Chains A and B, each alone.
Chain A
Amino acid sequence: DTEVTQTPKHLVMGMTNKKSLKCEQHMGHRAMYWYKQKAKKPPELMFVYSYEKLSINESVPSRFSPECPNSSLLNLHLHALQPEDSALYLCASSLRTSGRDNFDTQYFGPGTRLTVL
């Protein structure tokens, strides 16, 4: 089973709303990722959690707040977003192998299509 699930599938929110995106995997992966993707562009990394600790924050604005409650769950809390934040938000996970070769394939979820009005 190489499935990463994300909810909701679609989300429309106003600039004053607070909402959360959820991601779940049961593959025993210990690294989880949030990406933002604009139409016809490659995904852009936002955050990486490794063993439930925030490992990478790619200078993401504070209106995006990640949370990793346990090894299977990853949330992205949204507050005071801007229309330009509208995009497909992708969650991914990987086994997080140790060692120098970095052979650590990432598996993506179906994404949440976010529209900020």
Chain B
Amino acid sequence: TQLLEQSPQFLSIQEGENLTVYCNSSSVFSSLQWYRQEPGEGPVLLVTVVTGGEVKKLKRLTFQFGDARKDSSLHITAAQPGDTGLYLCAAPRMGNSGGSNYKLTFGKGTLLTVNP
């Protein structure tokens, strides 16, 4: 069973603070995605990481994929109220060759609240 453990589950911070969300597994993944979801909306893709040790930056968001491709982190600098939402990490399950049974494994999510 391939599980993605996300932490923390809930996070409430003040505007301007920094934070890090973690996504860990004992399994190796070929890639990993981070999504942000606002209430009542669908998940919006933030980034896909593919290479072990990869670091990607998206404005104030920094994403890192572990060297062994088993874990990832999302760091937000100077959080703003607009960053509030559910952050989900997801990775493809390793199925049959050719991906004929392609499925995503999701973490349980981190619900972030940034207070003004």
A interface footprint on B85-108 (CB within 8 Å = 1, 0 otherwise) = 010101011110111111110111
Interface size class of A (residues with CB under 8 A): 20 to 34
Determine the distance from Cα of A100 to Cα of B92 in the docked complex, in whole angstroms.
11
**Which of A40, A50, A88, A96 is close to B109, meaning CB atoms less than 8 Å apart?**
A40
CB of B44 within 8 A of chain A? yes
| CB proximity to A under 8 Å, residues B1-57 | 30-31, 33, 35, 40-45, 48, 50
CB of B61 within 8 A of chain A? no
The secondary-structure label for the interface of chain A is loop
Residue contact B103 to A101, C-beta cutoff 8 Å: no
Given known A40-B109, A98-B98, A101-B30, contact A90–B92 (CB-CB < 8 A) = no
Given known A90-B42, A111-B41, contact A104–B107 (CB-CB < 8 A) = no
CB of B111 within 8 A of chain A? yes
Given known A41-B108, A108-B35, A109-B42, contact A103–B50 (CB-CB < 8 A) = yes
**Which of A40, A56, A98, A108 is close to B44, meaning CB atoms less than 8 Å apart?**
A108
Residue contact B98 to A104, C-beta cutoff 8 Å: no
**Which of B30, B33, B41, B106 is close to A42, meaning CB atoms less than 8 Å apart?**
B106
Given known A40-B86, A42-B88, A97-B99, contact A106–B42 (CB-CB < 8 A) = no
Neighbouring A residues of B106 by C-beta, 8 Å:
42-43
Determine the distance from Cα of A55 to Cα of B109 in the docked complex, in whole angstroms.
27
